Amino acid sequence: MQTPKKIAVVGSGLVGSLLAIYLKKAGHTVHIYDRSPDIRKIQFSGRSINLAMSNRGWKALDGVGIGDAVREIAIPMDKRAIHLVDSLKFQNYGQEGESIYSISRGILNRKMIDLAEQAGAEFFFEQKIWDVTLSTATLHIGETERGEWDELEYDMVFGADGAFSRIRHRMQRQSMFNYSQEFLNLGYKELNIPANADGSHKLDKYSFHIWPRGEYMLIALPNLDGSFTCTLFMPFEGENSFASLKDRKEVEVFFEKNFPDSIEVIPNLAEDFFKNPTSTLVTMKCFPWTYEDKVALIGDACHAIVPFYGQGMNAGFEDITVLYEMILEYGEDWERIFSEYQNSRKPNADAIAELSYRNFMEMSSKTADDQFLLQKKIEKWFSEKHPDKWIPLYSRVTFSDRPYVEALAIGDFQNTIMEEVLKTDDIENMWNSEIVENKILELLQK
């Protein structure tokens, strides 16, 4: 336990709620502010990609003993179900028993807020924080941006208020603050596969479903109630784009042609397509993340990434794991805690941003490519024979807690090796031969 501090967390999302639980564990008074209503009392907004919880997420939850409570609302997915236009293939994510877990963002957030309240954190909903005075950890709160504001003084403020963080907005106005936001020319839209009448799933429940089509793709993740949350990723403009699908007929024709096996399982396709918003995808980077021993950013507020590696929440939760390690190591020295936290996390946040950006290509194109599937098969085979010598990139990111920077660097090295290996004569038949095994072993020495 540290000397108790009075701490404000801005943002009651997943990272804010979990951070509150950790800060309570460390002995502090914790107030959480959110501009939105209590998510436990409202309908969800209908523009969320389902979450894929993996090792880093579970580690952070288990660190405060709430992993099992969350496992109750999670569905394991041990493989990709790859829907080609004329066939269906499966590809395991990892070794036997390794899965990622589909969780509804809304259901998880409700659960996390319950758990944080049980831990003693106090929530203040529909309270709009517009600004922060960095040097005194004072929040400025009011009904409107241009109206009257009140001041709330704390010992410390955490900005867990997402990609468009107001806390970061103030930090941005300091000199020497590096910042970038970059939008993809790609949007996404939520669609829905309802449950069968008996509550069972219309597609394989334990798969991450993907319809890879190059410039665009459809994915579907299972929900507890038998439905799937689907997400269509597609360019805003161009030949196959949101702009090109202007009416119900065009949407239906497009899906019939390109996602034929989705037609019978998405009954409200055209209706949902025009009812649900088209959302944007942004990569946001910044530095520094902290101000003296007063203010720290965490999660999407300091490193928003695109969703193609399923690591956004996992990376945010890992921020908390690392912050808590620093608390254990540096005790009362909050300036040191903050500075070690940001220096440790920043390169890893940049690495997962890069990996996530690249992974759109992998998901939307390469999963439909036989060479790529062969490469994955060889990697899996070699990795099973030599688990000490080869952890596939996806596994290192998803099923380990090795640093993301290491995953990025070793992944690139492995790719150069596999490029060589795929040049082997008759590799389609030789892929699990001693020749290939020795070639990989030799290339690993270089």
What are the tokens at 126? Answer: 């529909």
Query: Which 3 state secondary structure label does DSSP give 105?
Result: helix
Provide the 3-class DSSP secondary structure of residue 223: coil
- Closer residue to a copy of itself in complex, CB, 90/164: 164
CB of 191 to a copy of itself, least distance (A): 21
Residue closer to a copy of itself (CB basis): 87 or 175: 175
Question: DSSP string covering 348-400, please?
Answer: HHHHHHHHHHHHHHHHHTGGG-HHHHHHHHHHHHHHHH-TTT---HHHHHHS-
Strands 29-33 and 122-124, sheet pairing: parallel
Our CB check for a copy of itself shows the closer of 41 and 146 to be: 146
Q: What is the DSSP letter of 115?
A: H
Q: Which is nearer to a copy of itself, 181 or 371 (CB)?
A: 181
Contact at 8 Å (CB) between 354 and 408? yes
Q: What is the 3-state secondary structure (H, E, C) of 25-68?
A: HCCCEEEEECCCCCHHHCCCCCCCCCEEECHHHHHHHHCCCCHH
In sequence order, what are the residues at sequence separation of 6 or more whose Cβ sits closer than 8 angstroms to the Cβ of residue 96? none
Give the span between the Cα atoms of 297 and 33, in whole angstroms.
Answer: 14
CB of residue 178 vs a copy of itself: minimum separation in angstroms? 5
State the minimum distance, in angstroms, from the CB of residue 183 to a copy of itself. Answer: 5
The set of residues, in sequence order, having a beta carbon less than 8 Å from that of 267 and lying 6+ positions away, is: 194
Beta bridge partners of 92: 79
Asked whether the beta carbons of 332 and 347 are under 8 A apart, the reply is: no
CB closer to a copy of itself, 144 vs 429:
144
Residue found under tokens 């829905």:
192
Q: How many CB atoms lie within 10 A of CB 121?
A: 24
| Least Å from the CB of residue 130 to a copy of itself | 10
Q: What is the C-alpha to C-alpha distance for residues 259 and 353, in angstroms, rounded to an integer? A: 29
Query: Least distance (Å) from a copy of itself to the CB of residue 269?
Result: 25
Q: What is the Cα–Cα distance from 295 to 167, expressed in whole angstroms?
A: 9
**Strand extents, DSSP E, 165-215:** 178-193, 207-212
Q: Which residue number, 1 or 176, has a Cβ lying nearer to a copy of itself?
A: 176
Closest approach of a copy of itself to the CB of residue 238, in Å: 15
> What's the closest the beta carbon of residue 353 comes to a copy of itself, in angstroms?
13
Q: Which CB atom, from 288 or from 411, has the smaller least distance to a copy of itself?
A: 288
Three-class DSSP category at 3: coil
* Count of Cβ atoms closer than 10 Å to residue 403 Cβ: 18
Q: How far is the CB of 15 from a copy of itself (least distance, A)?
A: 22
What is the closest distance, in whole angstroms, from the C-beta atom of residue 149 to a copy of itself in the complex? 8
Query: CB neighbours (10 Å) of residue 180?
Result: 9
- For a copy of itself, the closer of residues 183 and 274 by Cβ is 183
| Comparison of 43 and 178: residue with beta carbon closer to a copy of itself | 178
Spatial separation of the C-alpha atoms in residues 90 and 209, rounded to whole Å: 9
Q: Which helix (H) or strand (E) holds 100?
A: strand 100-103
Smallest distance from the beta carbon of 134 to a copy of itself, in angstroms? 16
- CB closer to a copy of itself out of 177 and 431: 177
Where on the chain is the footprint of a copy of itself (CB under 8 A)?
Answer: 146, 149, 172, 175-183, 280
User: Which distant-in-sequence residues (6+ apart) come within 8 Å of 73 by Cβ?
Assistant: 103, 104, 107, 108, 111, 224
Whose Cβ is closer to a copy of itself: residue 146's or residue 446's?
146
Residue number with CB closer to a copy of itself (306 or 417):
306
Rounded least distance, CB 216 to a copy of itself, Å: 18
Beta-carbon neighbour count of residue 340 at 10 Å?
Answer: 18
- We find the least distance from the C-beta atom of residue 164 to a copy of itself, in angstroms, to be 8
